[in-house]
Each structure stands twice: as structure tokens, then as C-alpha cells.
Amino acid sequence: MSTPITLVLATRNQGKVREFRRILDAISQGTINLVGLEEFPLTTEVEETGSTFKENALLKARSVCSETGLPAIADDSGLCVDALNGAPGIFSARYAGVHGDDQANNLKLLKEIENIPEEKRGAHFTCAAALVLPDGREHVCVEIFEGSILFAPIGNQGFGYDPLFRPQGLAISSAQMSAEEKDLISHRGKSLRSIAPYVISLLSSLG
């Protein structure tokens, strides 16, 4: 393809847009022009009514594809804490009641597990990435990122629960990792690398 095909990422979270763009650019070699919903301010805010990450990712991608007429990719991701029976899970972004309030979410999580010992603070991130094309074709990939929850936030990189999450086998938090380091092992990095061949193949068929 000589002209990059526009792919809409179903989010207004600029941190997520930068992360997705960085990962896809490295894989697609300039064949995909990824844009966020800031380019489409009139799109409807999708209510995440699904019961799984996969269902919510598809809801968002289908809605954005329908409204923009362009291929759309969406993710639904969250933190699943063993001691909380998988919570906050699909409610991770609004765990404390307000969508996207990272500080409040982190404070609530720390409060919920303040008496849980280190060896029982296991957790993992899950990310479902969904691609939906205007012709109705769809593909979803789901990946996880294993680790544990720290007793206090550390680091200032990343976003969300990154300052509280220590990746398995490492002595630092996700928020102490460079973007490139995190991309290699994170749930979002892995799900995008998994879905990227389908993105490139399906978008190429539109050219």
C-alpha cells in the first residue's frame, strides 16, 4: 500500500493512543495511520455493558466503525487482583466511581488489600484488542500480563495502575519501565502484536 490506511482507535485517552501508535508503527512500517477519537468528536460514548473484556472491546470497535465508516480497533483492559476474586476487572477504569480517575482508583485498591501479605498480592492485567472492519469482518486477541500489587505507588511512567503493579520476575513497577520495555511484556503490547498481522492483512485487502 502506498497510502497509509486510516485506522480509528476507539479511545480519547491520549496515553493509550500514544502506546497503540508506538506499537503498531513498529509492526506496520508506516502502512497504517492510527488516529484517536479526538479526530471524531461527535462519536457516541459507548456504554461498556459487556461481561467480559472481549465483549466490551467489540462493543466499542463496532460502534466507532459504524459511526466513522472506517476500520476501528478498540481494547478493553483491566487489572484482576487474586485477593479480590479478580476485581476490579472490567470495572478497572471506574473502580472508585469516576471513569479514568487513576489516583482515586489506586487509592481504593491499596485500601482494599492493605492487610494482604506480599505473597498473596498476585494480580494480572488482561487486554482484549478487537478489530472491526466496515464490511463486517472482526478479529479479537486476548493477552495477560502477570505480576503482583505493591504496597505503595512507585514510578511516574505509564498510567492507570502502573505505579502499583510489579511485573512477574522484576523488582520494579510498570511505572519505572521505559515505554519500549513495557511494550515487550505488557498485556496491551502482547495483544497488539498478536492482532497486528490480522490488522495488516485485513486492511491490505481494503486497499
Q: Which of 111, 112, 90 is nearest to 99 (CA)?
A: 90
Candidates 75, 76, 162, 183; catalytic one = 76
**Whether 76 is catalytic:** yes
Rounded to a whole number of angstroms, the distance between the first and last alpha carbons of the chain is 7
- Spatial contact of 141 and 194, defined as CB atoms under 8 Å apart: yes
Q: Which residues does 118 contact at the CB level (< 8 Å), separation at least 6?
A: 148, 151
Block residue for cell numbers 491490505? 204
Under DSSP, is residue 36 helix (H, G, I), strand (E, B) or coil? coil
Helices (H) and strands (E) in the chain, counts: 5, 6
Alpha carbon distances (Å) from 51 to 76, 89, 160: 11, 10, 21
Among 109, 125, 119, CA closest to 187: 125
115 and 94 Cβ atoms separated by less than 8 Å: no
Residues designated catalytic: 76
